[in-house]
Structure 1
Amino acid sequence: MAHDIDDPGKYGQPIPHDPHFSGPLKYRSCTDIIFLLLFLTFFGCWIAIGLYAFHNGDPTAILTPKDSNGLRCGVDSSVKDKPYLFFFDLTQCIGPSVPFLGCPTPQVCVTKCPNETFYVTSDPVNPDKLICRDNVPNNRKKPDGIECAKWYLPSVPVLKRCLYNVADLKIQKRVNPNARGDEVDIVKKHLNAISMWLTIIIQKGIGFVTNMEALHQVGQNVVDDLMESWKKIAVGLLVSLFVTLVYIMMLRWTAGVMVWVSIIGVIVALSLGTYCSAVKYRDALQQEKNMDPDAESLHSLKKYFWLTALIICSVSLLIILLITIFLRKRISLAIALIEEGSKAISSVTSVFVFPIFPWILQIVVICFAIAVALMLTTTGTPLFKLKKLNSSAQLIYPKCSLELDQICNPDNDTTTTILRDCPDLVCKLIRVVHHKYYDYMHWFNIVGFFWYSFFVSAFGQMVLACVFATWYWTKPRYKLPFFAVTSSTLTVLRYHIGTLAFGSLIITICRMIRLVLEYIDRKLKKYNNEVTRAIMCLLKCFFWCLEKFLKFINTNAYIMCAIHGKNFCTSAREAFMLLMRNILRVFVLDKVTDFLFFISSLLISVGVGILAYLVFATDMTPIDNSNLNYVEVPIAVIVICTYFISTIFFNVYSMAVDTLFLCFLEDCERNDGSPDRPYYMSKDLMKIFGKKNKVE
Structure 2
Amino acid sequence: MARKSAIPPSYYGEPHKFDPTFRGPVHHRGCTDVLCCVIFVIVILGYIVLGTVGELRSLTYASAERVVNKAILFYFNILQCANPTVLINLQCPTTQVIQTLFANYLSFCLSWIALYLALYASLSFLFTPAVCIQVGITSLLDAKEVGIKIFEDYASSWFWILIILIGVADLSLIFILLLRFTAGFLFWMVIFGVIAALGYGIWHCYWEYSSLKGKPDSDITISDIGFQTDFRVYLQLSQTWLIFMISLAVIEAIIILVLIFLRNRVRIAIALLKEGSKAIGCIMSTLFYPIITFLLLAICIAYWAVTAVFLASSGDAVYKVMSTLPNCKYTNLTCDPESNVTKLCPGSQCTFAFYGGESLYHRYIFVLQLCNLLVFLWLVNFTIALGQCTLAGAFASYYWALRKPADIPPCPLASSFGRALRYHTGSLAFGALILSIVQFIRIILEYLDHKLKGAHNAFTRFLLCCLKCCFWCLEHFIKFMNRNAYIMISIYGKNFCASARDAFFLLMRNVMRVAVLDKVTDFLLFLGKLLISGSVGVLAFFFFTRQIPVIQEEVPSLNYYWVPLLTVIFGSYMIAHGFFNVYAMCVDTLFLCFCEDLERNDGSPSKPYNMPPGLHRILDKTDQAGKKYSVS
* TM-score in terms of structure 1 length: 0.64
The answer to whether the aligner puts 1:75 opposite 2:5 as a matched pair is no
Q: Where does 1:519-530 land on structure 2 (aligned, <5 Å)?
A: 519-527=447-455, 530=458
Q: Where does 1:12-27 land on structure 2 (aligned, <5 Å)?
A: 12-27=13-28
Letter in 2 for 1:501: A
SS of the residue aligned with 1:479? coil
Q: Distance in 2 between matches of 1:192 and 1:83?
A: 19
- Deviation of the 1:382 alpha carbon: 4.0
The answer to whether the aligner puts 1:157 opposite 2:105 as a matched pair is yes
Q: Distance in 1 between matches of 2:342 and 2:539?
A: 71
Letter in 1 for 2:294: W
Q: Assess if the C-alpha contact under 8 Å between 1:673 and 1:692 holds in 2.
A: no
Q: Assess if the C-alpha contact under 8 Å between 1:352 and 1:652 holds in 2.
A: yes
Q: Assess if the C-alpha contact under 8 Å between 2:603 and 2:609 holds in 1.
A: yes
Q: Distance in 1 between matches of 2:383 and 2:473?
A: 22
Q: Assess if the C-alpha contact under 8 Å between 1:265 and 1:603 holds in 2.
A: no
The answer to whether the aligner puts 1:353 opposite 2:288 as a matched pair is yes
The answer to whether the aligner puts 1:643 opposite 2:578 as a matched pair is no
Q: Where does 1:426-505 land on structure 2 (aligned, <5 Å)?
A: 432-433=356-357, 435=361, 436-477=363-404, 478-505=406-433
The answer to whether the aligner puts 1:10 opposite 2:8 as a matched pair is no
- Deviation of the 1:531 alpha carbon: 4.6
Q: Distance in 1 between matches of 2:537 and 2:189?
A: 15
Q: Distance in 2 between matches of 1:596 and 1:322?
A: 20
Q: Percent identity?
A: 36
Q: Assess if the C-alpha contact under 8 Å between 1:4 and 1:584 holds in 2.
A: no
Q: Where does 1:14-413 land on structure 2 (aligned, <5 Å)?
A: 14-51=15-52, 53=53, 57-63=54-60, 75=66, 80-83=70-73, 157-158=105-106, 193=143, 232-252=160-180, 254-256=181-183, 259-260=186-187, 263=190, 326-327=258-259, 330-383=265-318, 389=323, 392-393=326-327, 409-410=336-337
SS of the residue aligned with 1:75? helix
* Equivalent in the alignment of 1:514: 442
**TM-align CA RMSD:** 4.6
Q: Distance in 1 between matches of 2:51 and 2:107?
A: 23
- Deviation of the 1:488 alpha carbon: 1.0
- Give the direction of change, closer, same or farther, for the CA distance of 1:371–1:22 in structure 2 (3 Å limit): same
Q: Assess if the C-alpha contact under 8 Å between 1:336 and 1:684 holds in 2.
A: yes
Unaligned runs of 5+ in 2: 76-97, 119-137, 202-246, 624-632
Q: Distance in 2 between matches of 1:430 and 1:391?
A: 18
Q: Distance in 2 between matches of 1:629 and 1:530?
A: 50
- Give the direction of change, closer, same or farther, for the CA distance of 1:420–1:443 in structure 2 (3 Å limit): closer
Q: Where does 1:614-629 land on structure 2 (aligned, <5 Å)?
A: 615=543, 616=545, 621-623=550-552
Q: Distance in 2 between matches of 1:163 and 1:468?
A: 45
Q: Assess if the C-alpha contact under 8 Å between 2:24 and 2:396 holds in 1.
A: yes
Q: Assess if the C-alpha contact under 8 Å between 2:342 and 2:349 holds in 1.
A: no
- Deviation of the 1:686 alpha carbon: 0.9
- Deviation of the 1:544 alpha carbon: 1.5
* Equivalent in the alignment of 2:521: 593
Q: Distance in 2 between matches of 1:266 and 1:73?
A: 70
* Equivalent in the alignment of 1:561: 489
Q: Distance in 1 between matches of 2:277 and 2:448?
A: 46
SS of the residue aligned with 2:454? helix
Q: Distance in 2 between matches of 1:592 and 1:405?
A: 60
C-alpha deviations, 1:22-56, integer Å up to 9, x for none?
211111111111111111111111111112x1xxx
Q: Distance in 1 between matches of 2:33 and 2:311?
A: 32
Q: Distance in 2 between matches of 1:367 and 1:113?
A: 33
Letter in 2 for 1:468: F
Unaligned runs of 5+ in 1: 66-71, 86-109, 115-154, 171-187, 198-219, 275-314, 396-400
Q: Distance in 2 between matches of 1:421 and 1:190?
A: 32
C-alpha deviations, 1:300-343, integer Å up to 9, x for none?
xxxxxxxxxxxxxxx99x99998699446544322211222122
Q: Distance in 1 between matches of 2:316 and 2:565?
A: 53
- Give the direction of change, closer, same or farther, for the CA distance of 1:262–1:642 in structure 2 (3 Å limit): farther
- Give the direction of change, closer, same or farther, for the CA distance of 1:161–1:487 in structure 2 (3 Å limit): closer
Letter in 2 for 1:685: L
Q: Distance in 1 between matches of 2:316 and 2:186?
A: 64
Q: Assess if the C-alpha contact under 8 Å between 1:74 and 1:83 holds in 2.
A: no
Which of 645, 667, 677 aligns to 2:607? It is 677
Q: Assess if the C-alpha contact under 8 Å between 1:5 and 1:583 holds in 2.
A: no
* Equivalent in the alignment of 1:177: none
- Give the direction of change, closer, same or farther, for the CA distance of 1:33–1:670 in structure 2 (3 Å limit): same
Letter in 2 for 1:499: S
C-alpha deviations, 1:126-156, integer Å up to 9, x for none?
xxxxxxxxxxxxxxxxxxxxxxxxxxxxx96
Q: Assess if the C-alpha contact under 8 Å between 1:59 and 1:378 holds in 2.
A: yes
**What is the total number of aligned residue pairs between the two structures?**
520
Q: Distance in 2 between matches of 1:81 and 1:613?
A: 43
Structure of greater relative contact order (alpha carbons < 8 Å, 6+ residues apart): 2
- Deviation of the 1:603 alpha carbon: 2.5
C-alpha deviations, 1:152-208, integer Å up to 9, x for none?
xxx96359989989869x9xxxxxxxxxxxxxxxxx9889548999xxxxxxxxxxx
Letter in 1 for 2:594: F
Q: Assess if the C-alpha contact under 8 Å between 1:241 and 1:645 holds in 2.
A: yes
Q: Assess if the C-alpha contact under 8 Å between 1:84 and 1:161 holds in 2.
A: no
The answer to whether the aligner puts 1:583 opposite 2:505 as a matched pair is no
- Give the direction of change, closer, same or farther, for the CA distance of 1:377–1:73 in structure 2 (3 Å limit): farther
SS of the residue aligned with 1:584? helix
C-alpha deviations, 1:416-461, integer Å up to 9, x for none?
4x75876767656676115143222211111111000000000000
Letter in 2 for 1:249: L
* Equivalent in the alignment of 1:307: none
Q: Distance in 2 between matches of 1:373 and 1:391?
A: 35
- Give the direction of change, closer, same or farther, for the CA distance of 1:531–1:194 in structure 2 (3 Å limit): farther
Q: Distance in 1 between matches of 2:65 and 2:108?
A: 10
Q: Assess if the C-alpha contact under 8 Å between 2:187 and 2:524 holds in 1.
A: no
Q: Distance in 2 between matches of 1:485 and 1:371?
A: 33
Letter in 2 for 1:548: H
SS of the residue aligned with 1:62? helix
Q: Assess if the C-alpha contact under 8 Å between 2:399 and 2:593 holds in 1.
A: yes
